[in-house]
Structure 1
Amino acid sequence: MHCSAEAKQEHRKQSRTRAMASPSAAVLALLVSLASMAAPANARFKAMQWTPAHATFYGDETAAETMGGACGYGNLYTTGYGTDTAALSTTLFQDGYGCGTCYQMRCTGSPSCYRGSPVITVTATNLCPPNWAQDSNNGGWCNPPRTHFDLSKPAFMKMAEWRAGIVPVMYRRVPCVRRGGLRFALQGNSYWLLAYVMNVAGAGDVGEMWVKGGSSTGWIRMSHNWGAAYQAFAPLGGQALSFKLTSYTTRRTIIATNVAPADWCLGLTYEALVNFS
């Protein structure tokens, strides 16, 4: 489970993990189809209606302060999220189940809004915590029950003058469009597996998760640790790992088989061929 630096370097050089070459794309597509049969016909996530809120920003133009965050995505450049991201108020963050969700928004009703009301799309990667020392309408922007977006500065600057500090917006939740499959960043130890789930398409969220070790275990239900991280207390070393995920919003379930090979390593990220749509 604890691989050498050389093994990790070789893994990072690969454009796809060995797990992607194990089952055929046709087999994985069948598994996704079978897993989705239990979901209602309208399980695919659709854009919601436009709703008023407010947006601020944190950090500077480099977006360095947005790296990491309460969802656990780490370096947002290497994990594919970039700088078009947002920290959500508690109402939207939903104890971490809002991680990975996507929103369109446009600045409205302020002289600081750019002409033409450009629409931006952001992904939730962080929590904007309450500030009870300040009034909800004067500094405590993320205090419940407010719905509020604290954007990266580069994202904010795409729709409004940054000097405004805070602007009214119209927002709506939209399907997440991702390139590639689900990604699982593995941490933990010999008896504790902690998996961060990233690059989730469709609704963008994960509500439930299971792991299976080769043919020696059945599906083990993983508990929600924090953000986009799920954990299982089981000795899973030396076994190929498969994962089953259910969307928090749509309840659609998909199966990613043999995502990590039997010699998987902690500290590495493995990608499946499957994703929500």
Structure 2
Amino acid sequence: MDFALRNVLGLVCVILLLPALCTSQNTIAYSRATYYGSPDCYGTPTGACGFGEYGRTVYDGSVSGVSRLFRNGSGCGACYQVRCTNPQYCDENGAYVVVTDYGEGDNTDFILSPRAYSSLGRNPDASKGLFQYGVVEVEYRRVSCIYPGYNIVFKVTEHSKYPHYLAIVPLYIAGQNDIVAVDIWQEDYQGWRPMRRAYGAVWDAANPPTGELKLRFQVRGSAGIKWVQSTNSIPSYWKAGDVYDSNTQLD
């Protein structure tokens, strides 16, 4: 099903209202966090993950660039609970963020959007104090991404050129799952053809097959590594910038 990405983005922001659902039993790790400048406090549509506008507004702009957690792009889309550790300023729940970019700071693992960074504070005055610090000690853990009512969708990037070059980015990956490979079905020799990780979460293929495009993706998560095939195909006459529903979700 082809539908406008902006409609999906407008609804997904409700996830911020469900922090209690976004928990896991993952081990807590320790690091540092800072923030980046943003005129509207949201994320950036030019992040290294290739998410575009989704990377600016997902989780109501509560997003982060990461360093070692980027993992050559396989860390894109992962969700974390990040809490600062100063009892004078810090909220016990902290911020729930989605990785949308790569960034390095002052020995930090997280470079948060201003919206996410302000969520670290226990109240508005405490948040102002944290902004004055600029860099704070944090504890964090990976948590499940939860997108109620949403399947995984494939956005055909604006750089795609029908029919000679196809680049896609999967969005709304639920749970604690990393997509580590994507294949496209090659009808003429009845086999799966690997797509290339172009950068971040973007996968591409030169001279893709004609006709409807069947995709499968290899997922690494708490249940190990497995292949998942999309129930829906990308239509024969795909268009750059369009978004297609996979009718598939992982959790």
Which runs of structure 2 are paired with 1:231-242 in the superposition (5 Å)?
231-237=204-210, 239-242=211-214
Q: Structure 1: which 5+ residue stretches go unaligned?
A: 1-9, 17-44, 130-138, 143-147
Query: TM-score, structure 2 length as denominator?
Result: 0.78
Superposition CA RMSD, Å: 2.8
2:119 is aligned, of 158, 171, 187, to: 158
Q: 2 CA distance for matches of 1:13 and 1:269?
A: 6
Q: Structure 2: which 5+ residue stretches go unaligned?
A: 9-22, 122-126
2:151 is aligned, of 181, 187, 194, to: 181
1:93 is aligned, of 42, 63, 70, to: 70
Which runs of structure 2 are paired with 1:201-216 in the superposition (5 Å)?
201-212=174-185
Q: 2 CA distance for matches of 1:88 and 1:80?
A: 16
Equivalent position SS for 2:214: strand
Equivalent position SS for 1:105: strand
Which structure would you say has the larger Rg? 1
Q: 1 CA distance for matches of 2:239 and 2:189?
A: 19
Which runs of structure 2 are paired with 1:132-143 in the superposition (5 Å)?
140-142=106-108
Counterpart contact for 1:241–1:257, Cα < 8 Å: no
- Find out whether 1:53 has 2:31 as its counterpart: yes
Letter in 2 for 1:159: L
- Find out whether 1:109 has 2:117 as its counterpart: no
Letter in 2 for 1:240: E
Q: Provide the aligned length of Structure 1 versus Structure 2.
A: 222
Stretch of structure 1 that moved more, 265-274 or 58-67: 58-67
- Find out whether 1:252 has 2:226 as its counterpart: yes
* Cα deviation code 1:10-65 (max 9, x no counterpart): 9539989xxxxxxxxxxxxxxxxxxxxxxxxxxxx954111111111112361355
Letter in 2 for 1:243: L
Q: Structure 1's 264 and 60: CA in aligned 2 closer, same or farther, altered over 3 A?
A: closer
Query: TM-score, structure 1 length as denominator?
Result: 0.71
Letter in 2 for 1:254: V
Equivalent position SS for 1:259: coil
Counterpart contact for 1:59–1:66, Cα < 8 Å: no
Q: Structure 1's 158 and 105: CA in aligned 2 closer, same or farther, altered over 3 A?
A: same
% identity of equivalent residues: 27
Q: Structure 1's 219 and 257: CA in aligned 2 closer, same or farther, altered over 3 A?
A: farther
Equivalent position SS for 2:4: helix
